[in-house]
Structure 1
Amino acid sequence: MPVVLLLGVLVFAVVRPRGLPEAAAAVPAAALAVALGTVTPHAAWAQVRSLLPVVGFLALVLVLAHLCAREGLFEAAGAVVARRCGGSPRSLLAGVFAVACAVTAVLSLDATVVLLTPVVLATAARAGALARPHVYATAHLANSASLLLPVSNLTNLLAFTASGLTFTRFAALMTLPWLAAIAVEYAVFRRFFRIDLGQRTTPEDAGPADRAVPRVPRFTLVVLALTLAGFAVVSLAGQEPAWAALGGVAVLGGRELLRRRTTVRELVGAASPLFCLFVLALGVVVQAVVSGGLATGLAELLPLGDGLPALLGVAAVAALLANLINNLPAVLALLPLAAPGGPGPVLAVLIGVNLGPNLTYVGSLATLLWRRILHQHGIAVDLGRFTRLGLLAVPATLLASTAALWASLRVLGG
């Protein structure tokens, strides 16, 4: 029964009938799991309580990304990339990679999918380049480039909590895996889209009102940089990084409220409270599945130790599970099993659940959201092309990134 509830919640999240939020299925499913006794009220509350700090942090980062978008940060970044590419689709791809990696790492993969993808579409049209390689890059990098910081992905926040690492230690260990994944992705994209990158289209006329180059919001950039530095400082002081995020939101949000350019209601909406509720309810459903025997089966599959073969095995299992049941339930199920082995296995799980979803649409909610955004812009996503690209990129990035993690652990220690 718990497996049926989980699958029902995931199917609902994919389809979203009548545009209903994911929580519309997850909350009743969690309540039913408790009512049927598949998870005790005590265990359900313990799971919710453990997720609350992570979900609160996620909400703050979402608000921060929203405020950066209001200040025109993404449009300014797109203008800089278009100006630097000189009309070359290959240079534009390199620029999109750079911006998408930075946005994903600092403002989370949701910012890349929701806020950057439309900017990339417009930038490609104005540069006279085919949009396909560049928008596929935002989908892949929303997952692949989210390895660097705890704030880059909800899965990272969960792994960060389980690893026992400080913010700076986490970033230090994941820098090399992050760079390896991005380098492999770029090589795969240059090869896979070589025909598209060799073609030009007629540049779209932006119109007189849009020809002015968007200004770079310097105040926003300074606050963002200080917030990022604050993540490291508060972590070293033994405090939750959420305090730094709250500071960034308070400065940017307070400024917008004083200028009457936003409202409290808008800021609350930017925090995606229904999605946060979905995460909490999904955690309860996953707890019911794990208690029902999934943990035993997964424990038998996960290799022990932090040697390279073991880390590769853990990453492979995590990637496979992410494509079967989505990366968020996968990380919730795997982290309790990996945590006793130390930071190495925990970070290998993270590599698997972050890179694996580039293989299928259902691997992560971010990819599903990306597909929905493209449909809103009249662009159909080719399942065959997406899968072929994933078959090239996912095994290669998993291997390179996990090997880089092993090297980092050997040099820096766990």
Structure 2
Amino acid sequence: MNVTRAEAAPQPSEHGGGGNGLLWVLVLVAIGFAILRPRALPDYPKLIDWQTLGALAGLLAITQGVEQSGMLQAAAQRLLARATHLRGLALMLTASAALLSALVTNDVSLFLLVPLTRVLAAQAHLPLGRLVVLEALAVNAGSALTPIGNPQNLYLWHRSGESFAGFITMMAPTVAAMLFWLFVAVWLLVPRTPIALKPSADAAPVQPRLLALSGALFIGFVVALDRHWLLAGLGVVFAAFLLFRPRVLLGIDWALLAIIALMFVDLRQLAYLPAVSALLQAWPIAEGWRAYLAAIVSSQFISNVPAAILLDRYVHDLPALAAGVSVGGFGCVLGSLANLIALRLAKVPHGLREFHRISIPFLLVCAASALLLRL
């Protein structure tokens, strides 16, 4: 590997990604709704998707366990020893993100790859924010291929009656266009330059017992989620860490969980506004390119999963709706829950600015390309 030694760069901020600023914006929006359209207090918890929130809490705890085990640091050292240049590393990370997201969902893919990318950036001079944004784009694109890749696909698949293979065939042209532009973006945004290592520090020793515990909990938690045993799975994860490694629980990004909860509260209240329903009923969005564009635009304001559920009542063109909410995951950070997760896991300063600088142009080219495929 071509390597140059350089001065150490400042470590990423622990509150990067626009994280807590977004949290306070969501708090203010929630207060505004409470004043203008008050609800009984017991109604607010009903707006939250507790299955999603609980799954994220368990995955955040397990990810902390893996990070504190030292395994990611060791894996990053081996990966950097084999990497030849920055663009090749970026292509490998984004391709892995796209492939994994089609198999194990977009969120889980980010929990595996973003912490690794952050550790890579701690050992070498890498554009961390740019790599994580590309990984977020990759999981949104790759997860669109299969019925199990993301929540909106799972919902639309069950509603459609399509076979597993039939759904993949339906989504393949849109996904191909998104992946084409993804790799064009990597080629243009990441230079083919040697990777410059930072001054080496004492490597944290790998803790095999913590790694084994985290791995076992991950497998068990995924099985519990698949069987809809959320509370039991979450109880086992937190009890195990509390008993054996309580410091792991201190590293959980509790602010991210608060952001996700408030997103559900705010965005669902927005989607339920009578003016929104009246607007959707008045617009001719039942099929074709209008349905496709309505799905993209709605996703920018209420995220693509609520957009899929909301528009399912008004849109009768499943391929257009599925393609629209998939492409709608790009653009605004609220377009997909995966975007927020990626930025919070990365902990980079000015993460929101970097994300929108790349994601908005990416949305425009992907939306136009996928639309041309439908005409």
- Determine if the TM-score, normalized by the shorter chain, exceeds 0.5: yes
Report if aligned partners of 1:129, 1:197 keep a CA contact under 8 Å in 2: no
Contact 1:101–1:141 at 8 Å: present in 2 too? yes
* Count of matched residue positions in the alignment of Structure 1 and Structure 2: 351
Q: Of 8, 22, 29, which aligns to 2:26?
A: 22
CA gap of 1:81–1:146, structure 2 versus 1, over 3 A, is: farther
- Superposition map of 1:278-357 within 5 A: 278-289=263-274, 293-298=278-283, 300-303=284-287, 310=288, 314-323=291-300, 326-327=303-304, 330-338=307-315, 341=316, 345=318, 348-357=320-329
Pick aligned residue for 1:202 from 196, 205, 210: 196
Tell me the SS of whatever aligns to 1:202.
strand
Alignment of 1:331-410 (within 5 A): 331-338=308-315, 341=316, 345=318, 348-361=320-333, 363-364=335-336, 366-367=338-339, 376-377=348-349, 381=354, 384-396=357-369
**Aligned in 2, Cα 1:266/1:97: closer, same or farther, shift over 3 Å?**
closer
Sort the Cα spacing of 1:21 and 1:259 in 2 relative to 1 into closer, same or farther, 3 A. farther
Instruction: Encode CA deviations 1:193-219: one digit per residue, 9 max, x unaligned.
Output: 335341224222341234x56869344
CA deviations 1:54-82 (Å, max 9, x no partner) are x1111221112112212216974675466
For 2:165 and 2:130, locate their aligned partners in 1 and report how far apart those are by CA, in whole Å. Answer: 30
State the secondary structure of the residue aligned to 1:358.
coil
SS in structure 1 of the partner of residue 314 of structure 2: helix
The amino acid across from 2:52 in the alignment is L
CA distance in 1, matches of 2:176, 2:232: 34
Aligned in 2, Cα 1:363/1:164: closer, same or farther, shift over 3 Å? closer
SS in 1 for 2:354: coil
Within 5 Å, which residues of 2 pair with 1:9-408?
A: 20=24, 22-26=26-30, 28-29=32-33, 32-33=36-37, 55-72=49-66, 76=71, 80=75, 83-84=78-79, 86-88=82-84, 89-101=86-98, 104=101, 109=106, 116-117=113-114, 119-124=116-121, 126=123, 130-131=127-128, 134-147=131-144, 155=152, 159=156, 163=159, 175=168, 184-194=177-187, 196-210=190-204, 217-229=211-223, 234=227, 242-243=228-229, 245-259=230-244, 261=246, 269=254, 272=257, 275-289=260-274, 293-298=278-283, 300-303=284-287, 310=288, 314-323=291-300, 326-327=303-304, 330-338=307-315, 341=316, 345=318, 348-361=320-333, 363-364=335-336, 366-367=338-339, 376-377=348-349, 381=354, 384-396=357-369
Q: Which amino acid aligns with 1:249?
A: L
Report the Cα distance in structure 1 between the residues aligned to 2:50 and 2:144, rounded to whole angstroms.
Answer: 20
**1:208/1:173 CA distance change after superposition, 3 Å:** farther
Deviation at 1:331, TM superposition (A): 3.4
Secondary structure of the 2:83 match is: coil
Distance 1:114 1:28, change over 3 A: farther
CA distance in 2, matches of 1:188, 1:225: 34
Mean CA deviation greater in 176-185 or 130-139: 176-185
The Cα of 1:177 is off from its aligned counterpart by 6.4
Q: Could you tell which deviates more after superposition, 56-65 or 174-183?
A: 174-183
The CA distance in 2 between the partners of 1:265 and 1:382, in whole Å, is: 28
Residues 36-58 of structure 1: per-residue CA shift (max 9 Å, x gap): xxxxx9xx96x975x55xx1111
CA distance in 2, matches of 1:111, 1:229: 13
Q: Aligned in 2, Cα 1:373/1:213: closer, same or farther, shift over 3 Å?
A: closer
1:298-327 deviation line (CA, Å, top 9, x unaligned): 4x2221xxxxxx4x6533331133236654
Q: What is the Cα deviation at residue 360 of structure 1?
A: 4.0
- Separation (CA, whole Å) in 2 of partners of 1:145 and 1:16: 29
Shift of 1:278: 4.1
Q: CA RMSD in A?
A: 4.7
**What runs of 5+ residues in structure 2 fail to find an aligned partner?**
1-17
% same residue? 18
Gaps of 5+ in 1: 1-13, 36-40, 235-241, 304-309, 404-414
Cα distance change on mapping 1:122 and 1:226 into 2, 3 Å: closer
Over 3 Å counting, the alpha-carbon distance change for 1:362 and 1:293 in structure 2 is: same
- Greater CA drift, 108-117 or 319-328: 108-117
Question: SS state of the match for residue 381, structure 1?
Answer: helix
Partner Cα separation in structure 1 for residue 357 and residue 119 of structure 2: 25
